Structure 1
Amino acid sequence: MARNKFDVDETLETEFNIEHIKRLWTYIRPYKKELFTTLLMMILSNLAVLLGPYLLRYAINSIIPAHDTLSLILVSLLFLFSIYISMICLKYRIRMMSQIAQNVILNLRRDLFVHLQKLSFNYYDNRPHGKIIIRVVNYVNSLNDLLQNGIINMMTDLFSLVLIIGFMLSINVRLTLVSLTGVPVLVAVLFILKKMQRERWQKVSRKQSNMNAYLHETINGMKVTQSFVREEENEKIYERTSNECRTSWISAVRANALLWPITENISVLTISLMYIAGVVWIANEDIAVGDFIAFASYISNFWAPITNLGNFYNQIIQATAYLERIFETLDEPILIKNAEDSYPLPPIKGEVEFKNVVFCYEKDIPVLKNVSFKVNPGETIALVGATGSGKTTIINLLSRFYDIQSGQILIDGHDIKKVTLESLRSQVGVMLQDTFIFSGTVMDNIRYGKPDATDEEVIQAAKEVMAHDFIMEMENGYYTEVNERGSRLSVGQRQLISFARTLLSDPKILILDEATSSIDTKTEKAIQIALERLLKGRTAFIIAHRLSTIKNADRILHISHGRITEAGTHEELMKLKGDYYKLYMSQYKLLHGGREAV
Structure 2
Amino acid sequence: MADFREEEALGKVYDARLMARLLSYARPHWKALLLCILMLGVSVGLDLLLPKLVQLAIDNYLVLGIDDPVAVEGLTRIALWLTVILVLGFVVSYGEVLLLQYTGQKIIYAIRKQLFGHLQRLHLQFFDTTPAGRLVTRVTNDTETLNEMYTSVLVNLFRDVFMLIGVAIMMISTHPKLAGVSLVLIPAVAYYTRFFATKARDAWREVRVRLARINAFVAEHVNGMRIVQLFAREAKTFAEFAQENEAYNQASWRQLMVWAVFRPILDLLANITIALVLWYGGLQALAGNLTPGVLLLFVTLARRFFEPLMQLAEKFNILQSAMASAERIFMLLDTKPAIVDPPNPKPLGRVSGEVEFQGVWFAYNEGEWVLKDVSFRAEPGQTIAFVGHTGAGKSSIISLLCRFYDVQKGRVLVNGIDVREVSTAELRRAIGLVAQDVFLFSGDIASNIRLGNREISDERIREAARAVGADEFIRELRLGYDEPVAERGATLSAGQRQLLSFARALAFDPPILVLDEATASVDSETEALIQRALKRLTAGRTTFIVAHRLSTIQHADKIIVLHKGRIHEQGTHEELIAKRGLYYKLWRLQFAEREEEEQADPAVQVAPNPSV
What is the TM-score with the length of structure 2 in the denominator? 0.88
Contact 2:443 2:486 in 1 (8 A): yes
- How far apart are 1:503 and its partner, in Å? 1.6
- How far apart are 1:396 and its partner, in Å? 1.2
How is 1:306-317 mapped onto 2 (pairs within 5 angstroms)? 306-317=309-320
Rounded to whole Å, the distance in 2 between the matches of 1:15 and 1:414 is: 52
Rounded to whole Å, the distance in 1 between the matches of 2:210 and 2:363 is: 32
Counterpart among 553, 557, 560 of residue 557 in structure 1: 560
Q: What runs of 5+ residues in structure 1 fail to find an aligned partner?
A: none
Counterpart among 32, 35, 38 of residue 37 in structure 1: 35
**2:54 corresponds to:** 56
Rounded to whole Å, the distance in 1 between the matches of 2:562 and 2:121 is: 30
**Percent of aligned pairs sharing the same letter:** 36
Deviating more after overlay: 413-422 vs 369-378: 369-378
**2:44 corresponds to:** 46
Rounded to whole Å, the distance in 1 between the matches of 2:376 and 2:18 is: 48
Deviating more after overlay: 11-20 vs 45-54: 11-20
Contact 2:11 2:327 in 1 (8 A): no
Rounded to whole Å, the distance in 1 between the matches of 2:101 and 2:493 is: 46
- How far apart are 1:187 and its partner, in Å? 2.6
Contact 1:379 1:554 in 2 (8 A): yes
Partner of 1:445, secondary structure, is helix
Counterpart among 515, 518, 539 of residue 518 in structure 2: 515
Counterpart among 329, 351, 355 of residue 352 in structure 1: 355
Deviating more after overlay: 562-571 vs 313-322: 313-322
C-alpha spacing 1:93/1:269, structure 2 compared with 1 (3 Å)? same
Partner of 2:500, secondary structure, is helix
- How far apart are 1:461 and its partner, in Å? 0.8
How is 1:435-514 mapped onto 2 (pairs within 5 angstroms)? 435-448=438-451, 450-514=453-517
C-alpha spacing 1:65/1:529, structure 2 compared with 1 (3 Å)? closer
**2:364 corresponds to:** 361
Rounded to whole Å, the distance in 2 between the matches of 1:345 and 1:220 is: 44
Deviating more after overlay: 230-239 vs 395-404: 230-239
Rounded to whole Å, the distance in 1 between the matches of 2:10 and 2:181 is: 45
Rounded to whole Å, the distance in 2 between the matches of 1:15 and 1:166 is: 30
Contact 2:57 2:75 in 1 (8 A): yes
What letter matches 2:21 in structure 1?
A: R
Contact 2:145 2:318 in 1 (8 A): no
How is 1:50-89 mapped onto 2 (pairs within 5 angstroms)? 50-66=48-64, 67=68, 68-69=70-71, 70-89=73-92
Deviating more after overlay: 489-498 vs 184-193: 184-193
Determine whether 1:189 maps to 2:192.
yes
Contact 1:198 1:318 in 2 (8 A): no
Rounded to whole Å, the distance in 1 between the matches of 2:421 and 2:265 is: 62
What letter matches 2:263 in structure 1?
A: W
**1:524 corresponds to:** 527
Counterpart among 430, 434, 438 of residue 437 in structure 2: 434
What letter matches 1:21 in structure 2?
A: M
- How far apart are 1:423 and its partner, in Å? 0.7
**1:22 corresponds to:** 20
Rounded to whole Å, the distance in 2 between the matches of 1:214 and 1:404 is: 38
Determine whether 1:272 maps to 2:298.
no
**1:396 corresponds to:** 399
Contact 2:13 2:319 in 1 (8 A): no
**1:305 corresponds to:** 308
C-alpha spacing 1:9/1:89, structure 2 compared with 1 (3 Å)? closer
What letter matches 1:391 in structure 2?
A: K
Contact 1:45 1:89 in 2 (8 A): yes
How is 1:154-169 mapped onto 2 (pairs within 5 angstroms)? 154-169=157-172
Give CA deviations for 1:391-432 in whole Å, capped at 9, x if unaligned.
111101211112333332221222212211111111111111
- How far apart are 1:135 and its partner, in Å? 2.7
- How far apart are 1:318 and its partner, in Å? 3.1
**2:262 corresponds to:** 259
**1:328 corresponds to:** 331
Rounded to whole Å, the distance in 2 between the matches of 1:403 and 1:204 is: 42
Rounded to whole Å, the distance in 1 between the matches of 2:13 and 2:125 is: 23
**1:382 corresponds to:** 385
Contact 2:10 2:205 in 1 (8 A): no
C-alpha spacing 1:400/1:144, structure 2 compared with 1 (3 Å)? same
Partner of 2:369, secondary structure, is strand
Partner of 1:488, secondary structure, is coil
Rounded to whole Å, the distance in 2 between the matches of 1:218 and 1:393 is: 32
- How far apart are 1:286 and its partner, in Å? 4.9
Rounded to whole Å, the distance in 1 between the matches of 2:353 and 2:324 is: 50
Q: What runs of 5+ residues in structure 2 fail to find an aligned partner?
A: 600-607
Contact 1:129 1:213 in 2 (8 A): no
- How far apart are 1:58 and its partner, in Å? 2.5
What letter matches 1:53 in structure 2?
A: P
Determine whether 1:589 maps to 2:581.
no
How is 1:139-218 mapped onto 2 (pairs within 5 angstroms)? 139-218=142-221
Give CA deviations for 1:452-509 in whole Å, capped at 9, x if unaligned.
2011111111111111112112222222222111122111111010111112111111
- How far apart are 1:158 and its partner, in Å? 0.9
What letter matches 2:74 in structure 1?
A: S
Deviating more after overlay: 114-123 vs 460-469: 114-123
C-alpha spacing 1:78/1:248, structure 2 compared with 1 (3 Å)? same
Contact 1:131 1:209 in 2 (8 A): no
- How far apart are 1:55 and its partner, in Å? 2.0
Partner of 2:420, secondary structure, is coil
Rounded to whole Å, the distance in 2 between the matches of 1:347 and 1:256 is: 67
C-alpha spacing 1:293/1:482, structure 2 compared with 1 (3 Å)? closer
Q: How many residues align?
A: 596
What letter matches 1:156 in structure 2?
A: R
- How far apart are 1:374 and its partner, in Å? 2.4
C-alpha spacing 1:118/1:13, structure 2 compared with 1 (3 Å)? farther
Contact 1:462 1:497 in 2 (8 A): yes
Partner of 1:270, secondary structure, is helix
Counterpart among 358, 371, 376 of residue 373 in structure 1: 376
Rounded to whole Å, the distance in 2 between the matches of 1:325 and 1:208 is: 17
- How far apart are 1:289 and its partner, in Å? 4.4
Partner of 1:77, secondary structure, is helix
RMSD: 3.0
What is the TM-score with the length of structure 1 in the denominator? 0.90
Rounded to whole Å, the distance in 1 between the matches of 2:381 and 2:481 is: 32
Contact 2:11 2:323 in 1 (8 A): no
Deviating more after overlay: 296-305 vs 281-290: 281-290
C-alpha spacing 1:457/1:127, structure 2 compared with 1 (3 Å)? same
Deviating more after overlay: 421-430 vs 204-213: 204-213
- How far apart are 1:288 and its partner, in Å? 4.4
Contact 1:360 1:366 in 2 (8 A): yes
Partner of 1:381, secondary structure, is strand
Counterpart among 522, 537, 542 of residue 540 in structure 2: 537
**1:127 corresponds to:** 130
Rounded to whole Å, the distance in 2 between the matches of 1:263 and 1:461 is: 71
Contact 1:517 1:544 in 2 (8 A): yes
Partner of 1:545, secondary structure, is coil
How is 1:238-253 mapped onto 2 (pairs within 5 angstroms)? 238=241, 240-253=243-256
- How far apart are 1:17 and its partner, in Å? 2.3
C-alpha spacing 1:514/1:231, structure 2 compared with 1 (3 Å)? farther
Partner of 2:95, secondary structure, is helix
C-alpha spacing 1:45/1:125, structure 2 compared with 1 (3 Å)? same
Contact 1:4 1:128 in 2 (8 A): no
Counterpart among 98, 102, 108 of residue 99 in structure 1: 102
